[in-house]
């Protein structure tokens, strides 16, 4: 019984001691960022489409991008790629999402292992902007990319 009482007293001293040593403060973290949606753009004779489900919280990014490009006007057919997102950066309604190309249906046109960067500007329910480039940096660089109006689709940047 004495051993049990001794443990209780020791526990009580620790709890009381912790309660009196200082103030517990909480620090608010930045809200999580998400970029979701899909869209298609036409640039000259080339039709591009992208679907994004990307998230970032406390410096960790995750998600996927699936993109395609129709190069039939140049005799190269259609190439689809899948990207593992490793970077998401947001400024207001604009977002830059980048990651490594994990799969390509035509690695001769778009090789696996390269970095794809996609820029999205959320203009509400219509008039969004999107553009993707290969090997132009990572999202935290926030490079200026051409702005192509989304013809079909919608993106949400939060």
In a domain, 144, yes or no: yes
In a domain, 10, yes or no: no
Q: What are phi and psi of 146, to 5 degrees?
A: -55, 150
Q: What is the pLDDT of residue 65?
A: 98
Q: What is the pLDDT of residue 129?
A: 96
In a domain, 72, yes or no: yes
Domain that holds residue 43: 33-157
Torsional sign, CA 151, 41, 63, 105: positive
In a domain, 150, yes or no: yes
Structure tokens at 20: 């009196």
For the chain, give the percent of residues with pLDDT over 90: 77
Res. 64: pLDDT tops 90: yes
Q: What is the pLDDT of residue 137?
A: 84
Q: What is the pLDDT of residue 78?
A: 97
In a domain, 125, yes or no: yes
Average the pLDDT over each of 17-21, 88-92, 135-139 and give the range with the smallest value. 17-21
pLDDT band of 30, cuts 50, 70, 90 = low
- B/e letters for 45-64, b = 16+ CB within 10 Å, e = fewer, are eebbbbbbbbbbeeeebebe
Q: Which of 92, 105, 14, 25 is nearest to 66 (CA)?
A: 105
In a domain, 27, yes or no: no
Mean pLDDT, the chain, as a whole number? 86
Beta strand residue intervals within the chain, DSSP E: 33-43, 46-57, 60-70, 78-91, 94-104, 115-121, 129-134, 148-149, 152-157
The structural domain count of the chain equals 1
Beta-carbon count within 10 A of 77 CB: 12
The 8-class DSSP code of residue 112 comes to T
In a domain, 12, yes or no: no
pTM above 0.85, yes or no: no
In a domain, 26, yes or no: no
Write out pLDDT tens, residues 103-155. 999 999 999 999 999 999 999 988 999 999 999 988 999 999 999 999 999 99
């Amino acid at each position: 019984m004495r051993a049990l009482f001794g443990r209780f007293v020791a526990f009580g001293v620790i709890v009381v001691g912790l309660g009196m040593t200082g103030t517990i403060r909480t620090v608010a973290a930045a809200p999580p960022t998400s970029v979701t949606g899909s869209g298609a753009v036409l640039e000259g004779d080339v039709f591009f489409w992208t679907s994004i489900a990307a998230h970032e919280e406390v410096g960790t990014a995750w998600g996927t991008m699936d993109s395609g490009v129709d190069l039939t006007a140049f005799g190269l057919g259609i190439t689809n790629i899948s990207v593992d997102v490793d970077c998401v950066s947001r400024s207001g309604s604009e977002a830059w999402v980048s990651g490594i190309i994990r799969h390509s249906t035509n690695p001769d046109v778009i090789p696996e292992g390269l970095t794809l960067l996609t820029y999205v500007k959320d203009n509400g329910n219509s008039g969004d902007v999107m553009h993707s480039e290969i090997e132009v940096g990572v999202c935290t660089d926030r490079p200026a990319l051409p702005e192509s109006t989304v013809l079909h689709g919608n993106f949400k940047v939060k």
